């Protein structure tokens, strides 16, 4: 089996993060400071993104890095250092958002937008390294079944509220085959509410493709 056929624990969640980050960045760029509701919702989305990014760092530190270190000591050192920088940047962005809430001026809004841009850019480079160097280390250390078990432990550690946030960005970020596999792999009792979420998030074409990939009962949910 070539490495291109191996289970990629990073790819789906990173797609969700990239979509979440770029959407939030665009939203901050067009923020209407004269509209209190737009400011409230824009900064609320930023808060949710920063929460998700912080949780993502914690999940990788707790579940993925030990698997890498068990096989290749020190292989995750650079990424661990990056993660601490990301947590510091998240704290700084939260402080800037609080300042903007209290004093919504164009200068402060643009400063927050620029600093979020830098955060997104750094994260994109960071995620690419994880999807290349870290995946090679994981594939050398773990079977696909072991990687899926690690992912299962991560999912088990996530509460319902956090999972709903991830699904909101994960479902539209995936391609049709990935989306069908995600939902098809859920327990039957969890599938219906996730399909309801998917219907709200997907355009008609993407929804039809998802329905066709599911059991016939899924089509009736359209």
pLDDT in tens, the chain (222 residues): 444 689 999 999 999 999 999 999 999 999 999 999 999 999 999 999 999 999 999 999 999 988 888 777 776 777 778 888 999 999 999 999 999 999 999 999 999 999 999 999 999 999 999 999 889 999 998 999 999 999 999 999 999 999 999 999 999 999 999 999 999 888 888 888 999 999 999 999 999 999 998 855 444 444
Instruction: Tell me: do 179 and 212 sit in the same domain.
Output: yes
What is the DSSP code (8-state) at residue 28?
A: H
- The verdict on residue 21 lying in a domain is yes
- The verdict on residue 13 lying in a domain is yes
Q: Give residue 2's pLDDT.
A: 44
Q: Give residue 66's pLDDT.
A: 87
Helices (H), 63-159: 65-71, 77-102, 106-129, 135-141, 144-156
The length of the chain is 222
Instruction: Tell me: do 24 and 118 sit in the same domain.
Output: yes
Spatial CB neighbours of 30, under 8 Å, sequence gap ≥ 6: none
Contact 29, 110 (CB under 8 A): no
Instruction: Tell me: do 98 and 47 sit in the same domain.
Output: yes
Q: Which two tokens stand for residue 219?
A: 């089509």
Q: Which of 105, 131, 159 is the last residue of a domain?
A: 159
Backbone angles phi and psi of 118, in degrees to 5: -65, -40
Instruction: Tell me: do 69 and 17 sit in the same domain.
Output: yes
Q: Provide the number of structural domains found in the chain.
A: 2
Please give the residue range of the domain that contains residue 202: 174-222
Instruction: Tell me: do 100 and 189 sit in the same domain.
Output: no
Q: For residues 163 and 66, what is the distance between their CA atoms, to the nearest angstrom?
A: 23
Contact 120, 21 (CB under 8 A): yes
Instruction: Tell me: do 102 and 149 sit in the same domain.
Output: yes
pTM as predicted:
0.89
Instruction: Tell me: do 78 and 107 sit in the same domain.
Output: yes
Burial environment of residue 68 by CB neighbours within 10 A (0 to 12, 13 to 18, 19 or more) = buried
Contact 15, 135 (CB under 8 A): no
Q: Give residue 218's pLDDT.
A: 45
Instruction: Tell me: do 104 and 203 sit in the same domain.
Output: no
Q: Give residue 109's pLDDT.
A: 98
Q: Give residue 5's pLDDT.
A: 86
Which CATH number do you get for residue 12? 1.20.120.520
Q: For residues 59 and 54, what is the distance between their CA atoms, to the nearest angstrom?
A: 9
């Amino acid at each position: 089996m070539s490495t291109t056929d191996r289970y990629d624990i990073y790819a789906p969640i990173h797609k969700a993060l990239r979509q979440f980050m770029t959407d939030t960045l665009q939203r901050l760029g067009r923020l209407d400071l004269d509209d209190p509701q737009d400011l409230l919702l824009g900064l609320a989305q930023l808060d949710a993104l920063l929460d998700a990014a912080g949780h993502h760092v914690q999940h990788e530190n707790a579940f993925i890095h030990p698997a890498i270190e068990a096989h290749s000591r020190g292989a995750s050192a650079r990424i661990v250092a990056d993660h601490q920088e990301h947590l510091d940047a998240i704290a700084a962005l939260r402080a800037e958002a609080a300042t903007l809430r209290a004093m919504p001026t164009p200068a402060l809004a643009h400063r927050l937008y620029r600093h979020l841009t830098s955060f997104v850019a750094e994260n994109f480079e960071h995620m690419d390294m994880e999807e290349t160097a870290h995946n090679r280390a994981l594939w050398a250390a773990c079977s696909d079944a072991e990687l899926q078990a690690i992912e299962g432990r991560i999912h088990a550690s996530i509460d319902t509220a956090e999972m709903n946030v991830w699904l909101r960005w994960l479902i539209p970020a995936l391609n049709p085959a990935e989306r069908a596999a995600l939902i098809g792999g859920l327990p039957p009792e969890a599938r219906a509410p996730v399909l309801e979420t998917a219907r709200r998030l997907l355009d008609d074409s993407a929804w039809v493709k998802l329905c066709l990939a599911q059991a016939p009962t899924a089509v009736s949910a359209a």
